[in-house]
Amino acid sequence: MLLVEIIAMVDVFRSSPPPTTMAVFLEKHVVPSLWQVLRVPSRSLSYLKKMQKFFQSEYTAEELMVKLKHQMLDVEQQDQKFRPERHKILGPDLASAHFLLARGASVKFLDDDMWHRAIQNKILLPRHKIDSMYVEGIDASNTRLMYEAFDCLANLSKLRYLSLKNCEFIDDWCLDRFHIFRDTLEFLDLSGCSNISERGIASLHKLSKLDSLILKDLPNLKELEFVVVMLQGFHTNCRILTSSMTELSPKEHLLST
């Protein structure tokens, strides 16, 4: 009944003509996040109770928007935290692949030309550990990956390609964690990540194998030329793209099919 009541509340906002800002927000953020929570039955009841209590409280429209946004971000952060049981069953690579596909990303495994993604919310990957399956590429463009997600990616020993293009929650704190990829990562796309500054980019000097970096459309990067010169001091052979020049797509770059 909890879920039915909450969805009914959402439908009231959604069906009110003309569509309101609240209706759009609920449509875009609340309903998808609820389904993310419901994927894990052990956590769904507690989250649904919190949401029911939230909707039953009295707020102005502006207060409701702010508080609801914070509530849903908290749900997403909790949902992206490391789950030891998942990694114990699947191993680090398949566990990470399941995690990423469930959140809209695609992955490529070593010695496999195919990029795998969820199809109609179904993840067509093995559900038991396979030692020979290593994640080599991740295209997480336009996803909502957060800082918490990188605990789930910490043991990817073969990762060479990572695209985080247009990821709104990727920030300097996330980049500071990229030392987990220091011995393997060759290609990194951070274009459109609006919360990244010079501080985060400076931490990329730890990536010893990096040879391609895309830094386009980063509004918080005020000293771009200085950052490029600094990074190239550490990575003399690294190609750093900062303009609107044509760049190879994920399917055409290091992991071409």
Residue 239 CB partners (closer than 8 Å, separation 6+): 211, 212, 213
CA distance 213 to 235: 11
Q: Residue 75's pLDDT is what?
A: 82
CATH architecture of 86-242: Alpha-Beta Horseshoe (3.80)
Instruction: State the DSSP H helix or E strand holding residue 6, giving kind and residue range, or none if neither.
Output: helix 2-15
Domain boundaries, the chain: 1-80, 86-242
Q: Which pLDDT tens digit goes with each residue over 192-220?
A: 999 999 999 999 999 999 999 999 999 98
Q: What is 68-122 written as a DSSP string?
A: HHHHHHHHHHHHTS--HHHHHHHHHHHHHHHHHHTTT-EEEETT--PEE--BTTB
Provide the residue-wise pLDDT of the chain in tens; the chain has 257 residues.
Answer: 444 555 555 555 445 555 555 555 555 655 555 555 555 555 556 666 666 666 666 666 676 667 777 777 888 888 999 999 999 999 999 999 999 999 999 999 999 999 999 999 899 999 999 999 999 999 999 999 999 999 999 999 999 999 999 999 999 999 999 999 999 999 999 999 999 999 999 999 999 999 999 999 999 888 888 888 888 888 888 999 987 555 555 444 554 43
CA distance 15 to 90: 42
DSSP SS3 for 236: coil
pTM: predicted TM-score of the whole model, two decimal places: 0.74
Q: Which pLDDT tens digit goes with each residue over 40-64?
A: 555 556 666 666 666 666 666 676 6
